[in-house]
Amino acid sequence: MFIVNVEGAIYKDDKWLIIERSKKEEHAGGLLSLVGGKVEQEGYTSDILERTVKREISEEVDVTVKEKLKYVHSTSFVADSGENVVDIVFLCEYDSGKAIAKSPDEVESVNWMTPQQVYEHPNAPDYLKVSIKKAENVKSAIVAL
């Protein structure tokens, strides 16, 4: 079947919280990424995607995001390990905490970046650029309300 992965497009003002994945990571090591991780089996539960993205954000970069998350988009891909992955990205508004690389086996560095900085960065994969563009659109729609 699929591995289900969730990511948080975390914004504060006009910047996005972008991590550089640890070079030790099996998939996309050394590349820029949103914060996220795999959904764990919990049996019958509710809001598993939202709770997972919030947990991953806390574990990896030690920040909290506001309660309300917004769906951005979903994709599927085959990981470097050959596993099929469904990836869901949520828009997350920063709430509190100083962003740090709390989990050095997963996160090399943490950066607040403008969309333009992401688009121009040599280690930003195309799928990250697409996620930021789509997250910008969702964020703009919310601000316009």
Reported as a single tens digit per residue, the pLDDT across 111-129 is 999 999 999 999 999 999 9
Query: Could you give the percent of the chain with pLDDT greater than 70?
Result: 98
User: Domain range spanning residue 57?
Assistant: 3-144
Q: Is 85 helix (H, G, I), strand (E, B) or coil?
A: strand
Burial classification of residue 36, based on how many CB atoms lie within 10 Å of its CB (0-12 exposed, 13-18 middle, 19 or more buried): buried
6 within 8 A of 88, measured Cβ to Cβ: yes
pLDDT tens-digit map of 69-113: 999 999 999 987 899 999 999 999 999 999 999 988 888 999 999
Between 101 and 22, the more confident residue is: 101
73 within 8 A of 21, measured Cβ to Cβ: no
**Total of domains in the chain:** 1
Between 88 and 144, the more confident residue is: 88
pLDDT at position 145, please?
A: 66
| E-assigned strand segments in the chain | 3-12, 15-21, 32-33, 35-38, 64-65, 70-78, 84-96, 107-113
Domain containing 129 — which CATH number? 3.90.79.10
124: left (phi over 0), alpha (psi -120 to 50) or beta: beta
Work out the number of other CB atoms within 10 angstroms of the CB of residue 87: 20
Between 27 and 141, the more confident residue is: 141
Q: What is the mean pLDDT of the chain?
A: 93
pLDDT at position 103, please?
A: 82
